[in-house]
Amino acid sequence: MSLPIDEHVNAVKTVVVPAAGMGTRFLPATKTVPKELLPVVDTPGIELIAEEAAELGATRLAIITAPNKAGVLAHFERFTELENTLEERGKTEQLGKIRRAAGLIEAVPVTQERPLGLGHAVGLAESILDDDEDVVAVMLPDDLVLPTGVMERMAQVRANFGGSVLCAVEVADEDVSNYGIFKVEDAEGAGEDPDIKRITGMVEKPAFEDAPSNLAATGRYLLDRDIFDALRRITPGSGGELQLTDAIALLIDEGHPVHIVVHRGKRHDLGNPGGYIPACVDFGLSHPKYGPQLKRALTQIMIEHGVFAEQDITDVAQGASG
């Protein structure tokens, strides 16, 4: 969109969403259905990301997809035939649902021909940025960071300190080898906020013994445009792929300020069934239509699986009402 950057709330125009992955942790579902389209209750994960990006004030979603994942982009296009049918049948609510994604944000396709890594995927977005964009946001669609609003906090930190700002969560020792892990020091000028730290290093998926902390990158990045130059200078790293983490580490080594905001709320990992199912339960329980029924069903299931005894549930219910 042609709005100048200073008219964008939080000065972010483009959010890059890497969505070219093969979804191997979700096979066989992802054999033909892109994992970004799997529904959280009834809404594809990528639409939740688009909503978060629009809330941030961005107007463009650069979706990086593989050639066989056209369905991800199609979700952001109008579907006239279906719209007409729903309109003829007076199904107004459903009509709103299928038009919603296209109305949230302008989706711009970027194709990653080969799976060369997250760093490579993000680097491809440079070609669609406008000249006035000195910052680019990246949101990984596997990660739901809740409540939303962490990107706004990160934009505030960037306004104070400049450079790049990432989101971190604290993870258990046994999980550090699954993430980009930060080496941190207290941020000068962060005042009383213990959740803002300066980063002095970052390493992708370290062994626990080599991990500099338990603070892990969690799918939300606000990156200075310099990242593209750094991405051109890295070589394949962890897993033989071009890693975004390595480009950020390079910027840090060269003196570029990088900070994190430690997120203390919730996070769901939609990229594998073990994280996806709790996300569906969480969203389902809060859903006005499905919540009450789901609560009853889950209670029953948990009794059947011996998670709770019937008496525990009665006690809790009585405690809540008494």
**How far apart are CB 136 and ligand G1P at their closest, in Å?**
16
Q: Tokens representing 45?
A: 């994960």
**How far apart are CB 190 and ligand G1P at their closest, in Å?**
22
Q: Report whether 243 contacts 117 (CB < 8 A).
A: yes
User: Given the complex with ligand G1P, which of 179 and 228 has the nearer CB atom?
Assistant: 179
User: Given the complex with ligand G1P, which of 107 and 249 has the nearer CB atom?
Assistant: 249
From CA 231, how far away is CA 238, in angstroms rounded? Answer: 15
Q: Which residues bind ligand G1P (CB under 6 A)?
A: 118, 140, 142-143, 179-180, 204, 216-219, 243-245
List phi, psi (to 5°) of 75. -65, -25
User: Given the complex with ligand G1P, which of 140 and 157 has the nearer CB atom?
Assistant: 140
User: Given the complex with ligand G1P, which of 187 and 202 has the nearer CB atom?
Assistant: 202
Burial bucket for residue 313 (CB in 10 Å: 0-12, 13-18, 19+): middle
User: Given the complex with ligand G1P, which of 119 and 163 has the nearer CB atom?
Assistant: 119
**How far apart are CB 212 and ligand G1P at their closest, in Å?**
13
Look at residue 204 and give its three-state secondary structure.
strand
Specify the DSSP class assigned to residue 3.
-
Strands (E), the chain: 14-19, 39-40, 43-44, 60-65, 106-111, 135-139, 143-146, 164-170, 180-186, 196-204, 215-224, 258-262, 266-269
CB atoms within 10 A of CB 28: 7
**How far apart are CB 205 and ligand G1P at their closest, in Å?**
7
Q: Report whether 69 contacts 23 (CB < 8 A).
A: no
**How far apart are CB 166 and ligand G1P at their closest, in Å?**
9
**How far apart are CB 179 and ligand G1P at their closest, in Å?**
3
User: Given the complex with ligand G1P, which of 57 and 237 has the nearer CB atom?
Assistant: 237
**How far apart are CB 71 and ligand G1P at their closest, in Å?**
20
User: Given the complex with ligand G1P, which of 86 and 279 has the nearer CB atom?
Assistant: 279
Q: Tokens representing 197?
A: 């730290």
From CA 279, how far away is CA 167, in angstroms rounded? Answer: 19
From CA 215, how far away is CA 213, in angstroms rounded? Answer: 5
From CA 23, how far away is CA 281, in angstroms rounded? Answer: 21
In the complex, residue closest to ligand G1P by CB? 180
